[in-house]
Amino acid sequence: MRAEIDMTEALQTMTFTVRFPPAMGFRLRLSAWLVRLAGKISPVGIETVEPWSADDALSWQRVIEATAEGGTIVLVRYPEGYRLRYHGETVWAE
């Protein structure tokens, strides 16, 4: 037994409202400023990787370092270029 419900009309009349807390934009700008300030006070060191030829057997190589916050910073070389990931997010790509 199969039941089908046509929700077309209900979805057309439905409205969604998204509300942000007061001063959300200010909080985001302040957080971004604090992160930039922390990077200037205690920058993250990155080891350099020796260049290698494109015909290497490995398709990618990586260098992983732990950060003071308990996360990781990862520099990965793919055949198409480099990527730097900080706490799981790509922050730079070549």
Contact 46, 84 (CB under 8 A): yes
Provide, rounded to the nearest whole percent, the portion of the chain with pLDDT above 70. Answer: 82
| pTM listed for this prediction | 0.35
34, pLDDT greater than 50: yes
Which segments within the chain are labelled E, that is strand?
61-66, 72-78, 81-86, 89-93
Residue 64's pLDDT band (cuts 50, 70, 90): confident
Residue 21's pLDDT band (cuts 50, 70, 90): confident
Mean pLDDT of 76-87: 80
57, pLDDT greater than 50: no
Please tell me the predicted confidence (pLDDT) of residue 58. 55
